[in-house]
Amino acid sequence: MMNEVGIDISNAYPKSVEIYLNEEWDYVITVCGGANENCPNFAGKVKHRLHFGFDDPAAVTGDTEFIIDEFRRIRNEIKNCFFSFYMKDIKKMELPKCSCNDSL
């Protein structure tokens, strides 16, 4: 799924959060739907703790096509959410308004 949007994660692997506890962070952002309620709190030095909940694509059931579509949907939701966060909260830029329902 990620290679479809130009991101190579073939060498990525899970890492323990423990290796990051002695570092200072501007942001720690959780993204799993239940992470805000179920994951242990990150105990490192953090200026901003945020949670953006998304459905877990690994929990999706159905035929292969539906599951793949759900992985893509969630990937795109994450991309759009983080782009919006970056533009509004980091870059302090106003996003353009959607003109989908404007009259001609």
For 36, other C-beta atoms within 10 Å of its C-beta total 14
Q: What's the pLDDT at 71?
A: 96
Phi, psi dihedrals of residue 85, rounded to the nearest 5°: -60, -45
Query: Alpha-carbon distance 44 to 26, whole Å?
Result: 11
Instruction: Assess whether pLDDT exceeds 70 at residue 104.
Output: no
Strand ranges inside the chain, DSSP E: 24-32, 45-54
pTM: 0.78
For 38-92, the pLDDT digits (tens) are 666 777 899 998 989 899 898 999 999 999 999 999 999 999 999 999 999 998 8
DSSP code string of 58-84: GG--S-HHHHHHHHHHHHHHHHHHHHH
